[in-house]
Amino acid sequence: MPSTPTSELSQLSLGSSMPPTARRRSYASSRGQAREDVSSSEDESDSGTSMMGGDSDEEDPFLIRSPNRLTYKLNGLHPDVRSVARDTFQDPPKITLQYCRLQNNVYAFQMTELVHQSIRIGPPNSDQPHPHCSCNKTAVPCRHVFWLMDQLTKQTLYDHDVDAPLTLTPHGYPAEIGHPFDDISNFHLDLLAESLHCDMGEVDSDEETRINEHRVLEVRELLASMAAVPPEKFRPDIFTTPRRGKKPLKRGDLEQTLFRILLDNNELFNYLLSLARPTDSIRDPFRKLSQRATRVLAELDDHCSTSPHPGSTGFHAETPTSTHSLSPTQTASLGFKISCDVPWAAHHILGIISSIRAAIYPIHASTPSQRISAARALVRIFSNVSDRNRDIHPGETPADRNLYARLIGTRDEDFIIPILTDLREAASQFLHNLEVVQYRLGVHGAPITYIEKFNDLITVLRTYPQPGSSRSSPGGAGSKRHGQDSSSSRDPKRVK
């Protein structure tokens, strides 16, 4: 008997968010592709539900691979906990994550599996020190906890080799992420919600009128892929100033009706998302990582003063700056602090670059479109960082208070250059943007070895055809604009 739309929707999940027939079609169509989804939780879940590629359960009964292709070590767990973990990853629950929020010093994740379940994660010293699900009356973590912790780990654990096993704790999460509450706090709940394609509930907010801006962006990407139109050009009348409307139904306008429905209907959103092709904007991992970087920088700008020290022009300014070690923070409901400073932003930026590297290497296994998308994301990050040579907040050293100084200006740590060198043909399409970065390096200053490597990269990129673009450069790195104030443009060798 053929399945009905309702029966198919009941099988949706964040990790396996499509009915069985659709999952088989999606998996078949994506075989042979490079690892295309490192920031999205729809990460080809079927391919990871087997035990280490088939027969490896017999080879090592204490290893299991999750739908997110993360491998966990089960040794050291109580047999009951081990059994739940094995059952969860071999037959993942069909779950849709509805929203997450911070309330009363506890992170709460609302999910649907035919009935609502809620997982709460409190600080280590609270009365809820471990992830606890509303379905569970025992101390053994349930499958919902294992499922959610796997989703969380996929997003927050930067610089992890997916083939290296993680150590599961008796509480359902890997030891490598530390305590989940601290992991979420350090990552930031709003960034996690966006990466998991769920809403972030806000205490005392008007849920009927509030619009999730990131969901609006992803709905636009989703509908644009159906219409075969670039997202930026799709229905500006809807998305320039998005509104819910009094009723979901907009007669005579199917696209606007879908937009309104998809804002709130997570099941339908995840179902359509599962049908998107790996080449669609909404499934492009590099686009998603670039969006995360943009959000990180926006949070840094929003939550920190952009000019705490009048007259300071950057990390090499002559005027001494404050040496207070206080960092700007966000304060949650019961007073604990969530860092939102230069080290926090730098951690995310470097982690995002690492994720791009992991997704695009080996280069020869990627497609031209993937290489272009990766290069575009890297150039955008490069441009944004090079444009942030300013003291964001007080700090002991320039690297503590200035993002440019931390990532580029004070020491040569090969920021982005090696990956762009390996992607040089794709990166050549963004030569003009990189020439702007080159000019900024000359104005702001950077280690001489770094500038030399960047100039070498620009020289290589100029050997590739540049149809319709100017070959002129605003000046090699290390040069200064004529008449530029010497206090904001020093010898690149000299970095304080």
Q: What is the DSSP string of 303-314?
A: HS-S-SSTT--S
Query: Tokens standing for 40?
Result: 């999205």
**Residue 129: pLDDT over 50:** yes
User: Which pLDDT score, from 0 to 100, does residue 92 have?
Assistant: 85
- Residues 128 and 227 reside in one and the same domain: no
Name the one residue in this structure whose structure tokens are 């030569």.
431
Is 321 within the bounds of a domain?
Answer: no
* Cα–Cα distance, 476 to 451 (Å, whole number): 9
Verify that 218 and 195 share a domain, yes or no: no
Query: What pLDDT was estimated at residue 314?
Result: 56
Tell me if 348 sits within 8 A of 407, measured CB to CB: no
The pLDDT of residue 225 is above 90: yes
Q: Return all residues near 117 (Cβ < 8 A) that are at least 6 apart.
A: 95, 110, 111, 133, 134, 135, 144
333 and 245 within one domain: no
pLDDT at 115 over 60: yes
Give the predicted TM-score (pTM) of the model: 0.74
The reply to whether 438 falls in a domain is yes
Instruction: Write out the H or E segment, with its range, that includes residue 376.
Output: helix 368-386
Answer yes or no: do 160 and 12 share one domain: yes
Domain around 230: 213-275
Q: Domain for residue 86, yes or no? A: yes
Confidence of residue 485 (pLDDT cuts 50, 70, 90): very low
Q: What is the pLDDT of residue 357?
A: 96
Q: Dig out the tokens for 267 from the structure.
A: 């099941």
Q: Using a pLDDT cut of 90, give the percent of the chain over it.
A: 54
Q: Are residues 408 and 476 in the same domain?
A: yes
Q: Which residue has the tokens 């979901």?
A: 248
- Same domain (yes/no): 295, 268: no
Last residue of a domain, one of 152, 172, 200: 200
User: What digits encode the pLDDT tens for the residues 21-59?
Assistant: 333 333 333 333 444 444 444 444 444 444 444 444 446
**CB within 8 Å of 270: residues ≥ 6 apart:** 12, 13, 14, 17, 18, 42, 96, 197
196 and 222 in a common domain:
no
Among residues 247, 288, 246, 256, the alpha carbon closest in space to that of 154 is found at 288
- Residue 296 tokens read as 């990180």
Is the Cβ–Cβ distance between 334 and 105 less than 8 Å? yes
Question: 452 near 466, Cβ under 8 Å?
Answer: no
Based on the fold, state whether residues 304 and 450 are members of the same structural domain.
yes
The residue with tokens 């020093």 is 490
For residues 202-216, average pLDDT: 72
Same domain for 108 and 153, yes or no, is: yes
pLDDT given at position 479: 44
Q: Name the token pair of 5.
A: 């739309």
Number of domains present in the structure of the chain: 3
Instruction: With respect to residue 131, please indicate whether it lies within any of the assigned structural domains.
Output: yes
More confident position, 56 or 266? 266
- Strands 96-103 and 106-113 turn out to be antiparallel
Burial of 57 (0-12, 13-18, 19+ CB in 10 A): middle
